[in-house]
Amino acid sequence: TVPLIRAEHLSVRYRRARGGDILACRDLTLTVQAEETVALVGESGSGKSTIGKTFVRLIEPSAGHLWFRDRDVAHLAGSALMDYHRAAQMIFQDPFSSLNPWHTVAHHIRRPLARLQHLRGSAAEAEIDRLLEQVNLTPTGQFRDKYPHELSGGQRQRVAIARALAANPVFIAADEPISMLDVSLRADVLRLLESLQTRHALSFLYITHDLASARYLAHRIAVVYGGSLIELAEAGELVEHPAHPYTRLLLAASPGSPMTGALPETEQSAPDLSPMRSGCPFAPRCPHVMDRCREVMPDWTPAAPEHDVACHLHA
């Protein structure tokens, strides 16, 4: 069957006036199936948000394809892009800055209903109530007219989720949706995402620093380093049999308890995102580095069935 979304050799280049251009996403090939959650894990600056925004086409890729079912949406514009935004939505890390402080809860949801679903008037108001119920902001009458500053972080994130659902999407990129919430609220929001997945037959790209929450929520985990996908496997397999030296480092540093772990920012310099980079992105930090690692980008190799890794140790 045709996957829901397939990035094929996708790259995103940021042009910068100073310091040269960077490739924040490099030659990424990754599929998300219908009703699947794929976690995107990697340290700060590895390109996770860039990939998420590109998957929902808030960013236009500089090379490669982005297939949505059988259509390449990589370079859509205008009304065709708006059609895609009906199908693909995003939830951001910071629910405070992603909501407009001057607008009520109901207003945040009313807008996408009008713009993307052409719902207005009493039909829209009924849909707002339905969406607030689905994200457990009940009784809805208590929340409709509130402003973001009157809500807790967890409640704000639920509004952001309701707003994403207002488009009636089949795919949501959730960019660290729990990392700014109190630890005590994180599991609730993850459970909400899980129940919404079943109810709406949603697919998620779940972006996180945290392998424990990735393992909890995702069917497969994709590890990125320096803008490159370096390992991809079913969630349990990846956590139990990590093949890439970087993934092993991540796991060694990840505390056992769920939803608390953050990746260590090592003392070494950030990965090189220059378009001129050659070889393995992890070579400057890898304990197993060999001569060819610095020159040749490792091919994508199976480490086990349904488990692929880009590392010369496995070639």
* Footprint on this chain of ligand ATP (rule: CB under 6 A): 14, 16, 22, 24, 42, 44-50, 273
Nearest distance from C-beta of residue 49 to ligand ATP, angstroms: 3
Window 271-300: contact mask with ligand SF4 (x via CB under 6 A): ---------x-xx--x-xxx--x----x--
Question: Contacts with ligand SF4: how many residues (CB under 6 A)?
Answer: 14
| Residue number with CB closer to Mg ion (106 or 211) | 211
Window 207-246: contact mask with ligand SF4 (x via CB under 6 A): -------------------------------------xx-
Nearest distance from C-beta of residue 226 to Mg ion, angstroms: 14
| Residue number with CB closer to ligand ATP (14 or 255) | 14
Near Mg ion by CB under 5 A: residue from 49, 134, 155, 254: 49
| Residue number with CB closer to ligand ATP (122 or 269) | 269
Q: Which amino acid is at 307?
A: H
| Residue number with CB closer to ligand ATP (10 or 22) | 22
**Residues forming the site for ligand SF4 (CB under 6 A):** 244-245, 280, 282-283, 286, 288-290, 293, 298, 311-313
**Residues forming the site for Mg ion (CB under 5 A):** 49
